[in-house]
Amino acid sequence: MVKTEGYHVITATDNLYAQNNINIDLEIKTTYEKKFLQQGMNICYLGFNV
Amino acid sequence: MGKNKLSRFAEMESFQRVFQPEVDFNSPDNTLKGNWHTNVFKNNNPIVLEVGCGRGEYTVNLAQRYPNKNFIGIDIKGARMWRGAKTANEQNILNAAFLRTRMELVEKFFGSNEVSEIWITFPDPQPRESKENRRLISPMFINRYKNFLKAVPSFTLKQTTNNFSITHTKW
């Protein structure tokens, strides 16, 4: 969607917690995120401008 | 509806910065539109939305970290929102507010250039193609957000798949 719509990607990762020095705001975890992490799933992150 | 939900809805009515207006597609724009700074937050700090906020973890935590910004959690699920709203109320977090409404009606609540940033964390994936317009990151919604976002708005999206395509979002 971001590519097809021509949005400007600021940051993108398909495994947020494998990154070094991640923004501490991104370490806030929702209830669903905690469940997904317990299931061993990776958390993806995308920041973009339109 | 369960007693627990009803009691939570009733309790939310007593919270100062929780808004649960009865609005539908035929309703006029809500009185909050264009007035969040003056009527709700009493300051001119940037407004950040957490769209599909669920229990409002981001709204509450970011509001605590950034007192010079205002945060609004939006969701239709009131029983979940109650958790974040209650925390914000108990801790007197003045720069956090909650709006309970359907996202399809969001333009009735925000005026032009009123919002600086949007966070979307683990949105309902709506995997069926027939419901792709309900996805909070669909172009239809992005275009709606543009109507009240500032000139160079930014979006922050967290989910469990790296395919952010409107046709393949999934859990």
What would the 3-class secondary structure string for chain B be? CCHHHHHHHHHHHCCCCEECCCCCCCCCCCCCCCCHHHHHHCCCCCEEEEECCCCCHHHHHHHHHCCCCEEEEEECCHHHHHHHHHHHHHCCCCCEEEEECCHHHHHHCCCCCCEEEEEEECCCCCCCHHHHHHCCCCHHHHHHHHCCEEEEEEEEEEECCCCCCCCCCCC
Nearest residue of chain B to residue A46 (CA atoms): B157
Q: What is the mean pLDDT of residues B118-127?
A: 72
Percent of chain B with pLDDT over 70: 81
**Average pLDDT over chain B, rounded to whole?**
85
Give the residue among B27, B28, B2, B31 at the shortest CA–CA distance from B19: B31
Interface mutation target, options B140, B144, B158, B170, chain A, most CBs of A under 10 Å? B158
Check CB contact under 8 Å for A49 and B153.
Answer: yes
Per-residue confidence band for B164, with pLDDT thresholds at 50, 70 and 90: very low
Q: What is the pLDDT of residue B1?
A: 65
Measured between beta carbons, the chain A residues lying within 8 angstroms of B170 are none
Chain A within 8 Å of B161 (Cβ-Cβ)? yes
Distances (CA, A) of B58 to A2, B62, B86: 23, 6, 14
ipTM: 0.82
Closest CB to B154 among A25, A45, A49 = A49
Nearest residue of chain B to residue A8 (CA atoms): B154
User: d(Cα B131, Cα B166) in Å, to the nearest integer?
Assistant: 10
Give B32→chain A minimum CA distance, Å. Answer: 25
Q: Residue A13: helix, strand or coil by DSSP?
A: strand
Q: Which residue has the higher pLDDT, B32 or B118?
A: B32
Sign of dihedral through CA atoms A11, B107, B14, A33? negative
Per-residue confidence band for B35, with pLDDT thresholds at 50, 70 and 90: very high
Give the residue among B89, B102, B97, B119 at the shortest CA–CA distance from B37: B97
Q: What is the pLDDT of residues B43-63, one digit of tens each?
A: 999 999 999 999 999 999 999
Distance of CA B62 to the CA centre of its chain: 13
Check CB contact under 8 Å for B162 and A33.
Answer: no
**Average pLDDT over chain A, rounded to whole?**
84
Which positions of B are catalytic?
Answer: 124
Closest CB to B160 among A4, A25, A36 = A36
Q: What is the pLDDT of residue B121?
A: 81
